[in-house]
Each structure stands twice: as C-alpha cells, then as structure tokens.
Chains A and B, each alone.
Chain A
Amino acid sequence: MILETKKLVKEFGKLLATNNVSFSVNQGDIHAIIGPNGAGKSTFFNLITGYHLPDSGKVFFKGKEITKLPSYRRCRLGITRSFQITSIYPKLTVYESILMALLSRQRVTLNLFSSAEKYFREEVWSILEDVGLADQAHVNGDSISHGDKKRLELAVTLGTKPELLLLDEPTCGMSPEETESIMAMIKNLVDKKGLTILFTEHDMGVVFGIARRISVLHQGSMIADGTPEEVRASEEVQKVYLGGAA
C-alpha cells in the first residue's frame, strides 16, 4: 500500500466536497478515480497533493502521515501531479522545463554560482526520448501542440522521479490517436519504472482499458472500489453513473 486516506472530509461553505473518504492505492497499480462532474474528484486529488488541507481525516504515504505537509514536501517524498488544465512553462523551452524538475529533484537549486546548463544533460535527454519530445527540445512550451503540452507536463513530473504520480484528466482535450499514444506511454512507464499512477478520467474507454483498480466518487462519497469487473457489476454505480452514460 503506497497511499492511504482515512475518513477524509473537506467542506467548501455548505458544499461537502469530500465526505468521509477512506481508500488506498497499492504500489505499482494503475488506479482510476471516476465519477460524474462535481463528484469531488479534483478536491480529493487536491487533498492528496496538499493543494488543499482536509477539515478532518488523515492521509498516509508509505505509512507516514502527510495530512498537513505542504505540497513541496510531499513532492520531495515522491508524490507529484499533473493538472486538468495543462500546467507548463510557456516561455521556457521543453529542455529547460524538464531541467527544472531535475534541478529540484537533485536538490541543487540553492547552488548560486555554478552554471545550470551543465547539469543533468543525459538525464534530460533520456526523459525527452521517453516521452517523444526530443525533436522539440529547444522549442518554447507555448509553441507546441496541445497533445505535446500534455506530454511535456508528464515529462516534467517524471523529472521529479515520483513514486506516486497523480494525473488529473491526462487525456482531456486530446484526439483519439493522441489519447491512445499517451495512455500507452503511461502504461509503459508503470512497467518500466515501477511507478504507481492514480488518475481521474472522463473517457470510460480509457479508464476500463488501462486501470487495474477503479474507485467511484459520487457527491463526495466513495460508493464503489474494486477491479474494473467489480465496478462494472456494481448496481449502485450503474444507477448513478454508468447507467446514464451507457
């Protein structure tokens, strides 16, 4: 078990965005969180990454409590994330963007006098190859295609060498071909690097195609949790979610 939450609660005014959610993610899994719009997926993500702090409940990472740690500390422990609205560095090159992550990961960022360009050349190129952006290494982040921006964000998160990677709608706004290629890439990363992935996704084809475990959120509560087959078979899930979609 790499991640565990116990009775997490988060309220925004009168809206109960996360209602008593206890769940866990196994090491090396590809775990999806699904649910209709407004089910509380993003809030739940934000509680795990420290973007918001919960009103009550606890979060554990590899057995260590991280409930109140700031985001950067969680990142150093090995949790990082991508955002639903792609979050990259518009005016830095693809190469520089990935370099930022490595500089941070290797803790050399308080070095004031050496030249940053000399660091981690091989590592940056190897990540560029992994995500297929090597030919655009010296292009600015805002000048590449939408699909490539998503890849770039993924590459930047990989630069921090995470153990647990949270992806918020990784295929949002992508064409079917782009979706397929990025999901293949993610699957490859899990197999090759032993990453654990927790992701949210609208596209049920993607979810059932890749996830090994699925949790379903509805109005802030977790109503189902299991293998894709179990979740598909759950009557409650069909009622609130799949029923409408299928």
Chain B
Amino acid sequence: MYLLTVDWILLLEKLILIAIVVMASLLVAMYSTYAERKIAAFMQDRIGPNRAGPFGILQPLADGGKLFFKEEIIPNHSNKILFILGPSLAMLTAMMTCAVVPWSGDINLFGRTIPLQIADVNIGILYVFAVVSLGVYGIMIGGWSSNNKFSLLAALRGASQVISYELAMGLSLIALLMMTGSLSLKTIVEQQMASHWNVLYQPLAFLIFFVCALAECNRTPFDLAEAESELNMGYHQEYSSMKLGFYLFAEYVNMFISSAIMATLFFGGYDIPFFNESAHTDWGNWLAVAGIVCFMIKISIFIFVFMWIRWTVPRFRYDQLMNLGWKKLIPLALANMLVTGAVILWMHK
C-alpha cells in the first residue's frame, strides 16, 4: 500500500528531467570541444576544423566516432578494476553536479507545476563542493592504477592542486553565503532576481572563485595534471579509446557545470538582465524558456572566457601554482570574508 502513496508522476517527471539535463550537458560538452578547436584556431589566425559538415559542425561526431573505434588497451601491470573505475568516476562526478543547478523557473505542463531543477536541496552549494572534490578521485585513481610514474606524478599534482584551490574557493564563497544567508541555489537566484546580481556586491569573491574554478577544472594555466610537454599527457597517458574520451569529455562537462554554477551564484542564474520577470507572469512557460536561453548565454560566455584564457597563457610552474593558491588567493579570500562580515554587522546595527 505504501507504494500507492508515492507520487509516481513526480518520479517520472524527475527522470525525464534528469535524462534531458544529462543529454544537454553531454551535447554542450561535445560542442565545447568543437568550440575549443575553433577558438584556438581563431586566436592563432587559423580557421579551425571546417571540413566535416558546414563550418565543420559534424567534427565532434567524427572525433567521437574515431575514439570509439580505437583499440582498448589495459596495461598489463595496471590494476584493472581501478583502471576502469578512474574514467567512470571522472565522468560520473562531472555529471552529478548538474543535479542542483536551477536551469530556469517553473513551467506548467499538463496541469502540473514542474520546477526545472532536478533537486532543490537546501544545501545545494555544499553538495556541489562535495561532488566536485570527489572529481579528483577520477584523476587520482586513473593516474595511480596506470602504474606509470608520469601518470602518478600527474595524479599527485592534480590532487594537491585541487585541494589547495578548494580552500580558497570555499572561503570566497563564505563571503557570498554570509550575504545570501542560504545554501540553496534556487533561493540565491531568486534573491538576485529581486535585487542585483551578486557579482556587484562580491566582485573579489567572484574573481577568486573564477580562478579556483579554472584550477578545479584542470584548465590552462592550471593544467599541471595533464602537462603535455613535461608529463606527456599526465594521468591519462595509458588510456586509449573511449576511456580516454571519458577523461577528455569529463573536463568539458566540468567546465560546463562550473560555468553554470558561476552564472548561478554571481550572475543571477536564469535572471534576464534589465527585465522584471515578476511583472510578466502572464508569459507562462515562455518566461521559463527565455530564462533557459538567458542562462545558456551566460554559460557560453563563461565557457568562451575559459577557452580564451587557455589559448592566451602558458601553464604555471608548480611552485607558482602553490604560491598563488596558498599565499595570494587564500589571504585575499580571508580578507574579503572579514570585510564582508564587518560590513554586514555594521549595516545591521
């Protein structure tokens, strides 16, 4: 009898939403690879892939197809279970983060109000942090189980980098959370829709968060875990075929999700700038659609900036990386937190 009381339609609704969000993130990740190649080319005065389909838009399909047909190699001396677990974990954690991102406002379908968010947990940010820090296990396990000193070195670098930058990231967010007073991403977006975007109040926190997001995604200038020129490919050196594809893909999914998180926390999420949503509730579902479009535009801008930085700066040296993380970003974040706290206290007096 208990099963009858379960809201089965809610379950179905969430399942469909999960499927759509996962497919969408994969699609965005797929076309991020294309965008990356195009942007890299344009910044180097080339024009990039343009043979597969018009403007080369079928290039990601060709790349994926190629990876599928490559030989699967599991090195003899590797730990086979962990070797397979590595890329799976990387992909899994990358995909899991998108569960708490509010993609847009509610839509009404078949007489039901459907929130376009898989789970509005009241500790959304903590969840994101937890899953993102799990992401380093993909790198660690992959690098360690390959039984290759380059991979292991890269994995160690990746792990220490992620741990160092997570601190600064968390500290920069505390300043923001003191203002919002909520950990739920949905609430944070709604607050920003009512007043101004958080980036106006917390520009320094955003800057620190952005730098740390670059480091968390292992993007240049923080790509020490991959470091083609010194560790020849780093932690995924021994990987081939789709296992390699998973690692590469997870990086792009991570980039998409962290852009989404940044847009949500600091740039108003699905808020349409210079437009009062609450005055146009008669638009119904179209308002939600406009919100998604706006959110996607913000995400694409972030992804573009990520790539722009990648094709501008070279990789940091390891000591520079640690210096920046521990001696610069963490004190800055702490100071920012202190000032924010003081200002909040002063305002409430």
A, B assembled together: no
